[in-house]
Amino acid sequence: MTRVSARASSFAGRELGIVVAFVAVVAATTITSPTFLSGQGIHDLFLNASIIALLAIGQALLVITRNIDLSVGSVMGLTAYLSGQLFLVDKDLPVIVVVLAGIALGAVCGAINGALVAIAKVPALVVTLGTLYVYRGIDYAWASGTDTTQINAYQMPQGFLSLGSGSILGIPHLTLIALVVLAVAAYGLHNFRAGRELYAIGSNPDAARLAGIPTGRRVFGAFVISGGLVGLGGVMHAAYFGTINASVGTGRELAVVAAVVVGGVAIFGGSGTVLGAALGALLLTTVTSALPILGVPAFWQRAVDGAALLVAISLDRAFMVRLATRLRAERAVRRAG
């Protein structure tokens, strides 16, 4: 078995494990509170997971290339506030214009991150840790510089709010949007050359560069796409919750990174799927929703994402060490033969 196929089978197994864990959490919580699995409970569960899934899909593209974006929470807050401000200027503004504006602002923020990483060669961790505070500062300055520091549901049109609360055949609009984005991202990663090259960059950046892959352009593009998805997530947050202030999205970056890594996207790059990232978002959202029902204190609810991230990274590292040992042993056998 080659290294690539071994890693692929391992992370496919991780996705199956997420599904099993999800079923176990839902079953345990339903025993304690039967309403957890009611129609409304399932509806709310998928609604809460959809926004995190959108951000996790974009983050997965970056982690596959051995990069990361810690500014997603701040960009989400910035685009959410933009959505509300646009409706304050013109409440009759078409919803699609607001959605596109949010995506565009998110893409611009992603382009700034991507340029500093791909062109200036600054490590993504350093760049996005800095822009996390820069974008949040812009958000707070914007909010404090206006007459409205908090935008409420009554100040936004019902058509926009129904985008966040409405459903089609019982499936929330936000979930349908997340599923469409998931399908497009999964198809692009596996069927387009640019998507497959992201895996090559994450597996071995130097080898990818020597093979003629435009690594800088691909990484820059991944940051722009991820930023656009975060912008979409910010708009969806505004439509769903209906209350927007400068603190929207604070701390959300930990949940997003945890969802990606728990979903089987290797933190060391080169493997994983956007489906796994979305499943990771669903699992962590379910666990967070279940803990209060199970009587777990609020502190432990906040600690779940961090603990899940540590466990997932430890598992990935253990797998990589075991795989490397097995490959060395196979090479030694072939040389001896």
Model pLDDT for residues 259-268, shown as the tens digit of each residue: 999 888 988 8
Residue 135 sits in a domain of what CATH number?
1.10.3470
Q: Give the chain's mean pLDDT.
A: 87
Number of structural domains in the chain? 1
Which pLDDT score is estimated for 167?
86
Which pLDDT score is estimated for 186?
95
What's the whole-number mean pLDDT along residues 1-26? 68
What's the whole-number mean pLDDT along residues 123-142? 95
Which pLDDT score is estimated for 5?
47
pLDDT tens across 239-296, in order? 999 889 888 998 889 889 999 998 889 888 888 899 999 999 999 999 888 888 888 7
Confidence band, pLDDT 50/70/90 cuts, at residue 66: very high
Distance of CA 272 to the CA centre of its chain: 13
User: Domain range spanning residue 246?
Assistant: 3-336
Query: What is the 3-class SS of 29-92, one letter each residue?
Result: HHHHCHHHHCHHHHHHHHHHHHHHHHHHHHHHHHHHCCCCCCCHHHHHHHHHHHHHHHHHHCCC
pTM over 0.85: yes
pLDDT tens across 290-310, in order? 888 888 776 776 677 778 778
Backbone dihedral region for residue 121 (phi beyond 0: left; psi -120 to 50: alpha; all else: beta):
left
DSSP, residue by residue, 183-226: HHHHHHHHHSHHHHHHHHHHH-HHHHHHTT--HHHHHHHHHHHH
